[in-house]
Structures are given as C-alpha cells and as structure tokens.
Amino acid sequence: MTRHALILADIEGIIGVHAKAQCTPGAHAWHKARHLLTADVNAAARGLLDAGYHRITVGDMHGTGFNILPEKLMAEARCEQGHRWHPVPLIGTMPEADCAVMVGWHAAPDQEGFSPHIFHKRLRKLCINDSPVTEVELFSAVLGEHNIPVTFVSAEDVACDRIQGHMPWIHRFDVPKRPVSQSHIRDLRIRLTDEVRQAASNSNAPPLVWGTHKVTATFPDETQTWTSPSATTTFRRLLADTALGFAPDAAIPCLLFILRTRCRMEEWARKR
C-alpha cells in the first residue's frame, strides 16, 4: 500500500534562519534563506522515506507561498506553491495523507520569540477554549478535520513548549534562533532527518480535533469572542480579518489567483 505524507513548511523556524530579512520575500537574505528552507524540507522528506512513506506533498506556507526551490527538492517530494481559498484556505485541495510533519514554524504573538505572529501582526493573541495557541495548532486542527495527524514539528523552543502542551504526542525538534556555524547546521539537519523518521514511524499519533469551539482573538483595538463550528471556519475567518483584511471576502479567491500568477512569472524569470 502506498503511504502518503504531507509536509507543511514555514520559514521562521528553519535551521540557520535567525534574522527578519531572511523571512522577507524579495530581500537578498531571503534568496539565500530559500536554500536553507529547501534543505530542511529535503531533510524531513528523507526521514519520511526512511519511515516507509512513498509519496510526499509539500505545502509552502510562508508569505506568498513561493519560498521553496522546487527544482532542488528530492524527486519523491511534490511541492504545492501559492495559496488558494477553496476548499481549504491556503492549502486548496487537501491531499489524502497518512500523516503530516510541520517544518520551520514559529511562536505566537503573545510569546517572546523570533518573529512571533499568527498570520499578521494585527492579531496579538489567539485562544481556543480560553487556551492560547500558535499557528501550528490551528493548522493541525484543520488537518485533523481531514483525519490527518501531525506527528512532528520543528520550531524554536518557546513555540514547541506551547504546541506540546496542546499536542502531547507530537515529536518536537527545537531549532536555535541565533547564528550557527555551517557544521552545526549540517549536524542539526542530520538530526532532523532522524527525528522525522522516528516521529513518522509512530502510527499512534491522533489527529487534533476541536469540534465546536470558543475563539478569542485579541487585536490592537478590541478583543472578539465567538463560537466556531470547525477549525477550517476559524482559519478562514482569521485569515480574512488579518492577512487578507484589506480585500472584500468575495475578492479573496481572485486576489490569490493574481498573486500566484505574478509569483509564477517571477519564478519563471529566475530560472531563465
């Protein structure tokens, strides 16, 4: 039987990333950080292959969704770049995966950490059922509605502490957010492969399922509280109110299509 794994990758928690410029699309430092991101994704993919997975889908979750260098990914990994609005926000059509690993994530905005945020700086704190969460739990709960368990996360320690508090089964990999040597980066990446293999070999991890839940979202000028029927509904509303808050809801799918097209043209020009 073919086993399929999903990798969702962000950039702030990548090994070797420690400066804001590395996370800013278009910046000189970001162009170099794309190689670090791609190398971490490849390291995770090797661990999944070692654990017996045969197909790997990679979701590029940072910024516009055009950060990973697809031409440098290992052949078994297929990268989905650019964001979609339906049926699942940012992800589009959810793959039928047996497990997911999350590579390169970050702390929440109410935590002390490197570039702490949830989608946008306008959202200052997010609580589910009165407990503060990070983006990882929110993504994991969306995956959970498709019966996909998240088994592994790499992020800085403060983020991993919170994530593990909500998902005690998760295999955490703490990433230092300071300048480190190339040899240290190589050693950490070897460990990343081994620990993804260990995590993906564990078939007992459950999906994170919230069901109907209470959402408390704190913004600079107000705190909003509502009851949500699903994690996907919460995810969509928060994105529409923060990172995409400048656009009317009906225009968001078209806006994301235009953004994907522009980024694809930029990538085509880069490869020429």
User: So where are the chain's domains?
Assistant: 4-120+134-208
Nearest CA among 81, 213, 218 for reference residue 141 = 213
Model confidence band, residue 86 (pLDDT cutoffs 50, 70, 90):
very high
Reduce the DSSP state of residue 23 to 3 states and report it.
helix
Cα separation of 68 and 72, whole Å? 8
Q: From the CB of residue 37, how many other CB atoms can be counted at a distance below 10 Å?
A: 27
Q: What is the pLDDT of residue 1?
A: 64
Phi, psi of 71 (to 5 degrees): -70, -15
- Helix 28-50 vs helix 182-200: angle between axes, to the nearest 10 degrees? 40
Type of residue found at 170: I
Q: Give per-residue pLDDT as tens, 152-205.
A: 999 999 999 999 999 999 999 999 999 999 999 999 999 999 999 999 997 789
- Do 69 and 77 contact (CB within 8 A), yes or no? no
Q: What is the pLDDT of residue 43?
A: 98
Type of residue found at 238: L
Question: Which strands make up the sheet holding 150-155, listed edge to edge?
Answer: 77-80, 55-60, 4-9, 99-105, 150-155, 171-174
Fold of 4-120+134-208: Rossmann fold (3.40.50)
Q: Give per-residue pLDDT as tens, 170-181.
A: 999 999 999 999
Where do the H-state alpha helices sit in the chain?
Answer: 28-50, 135-144, 157-166, 182-200, 231-241, 252-271
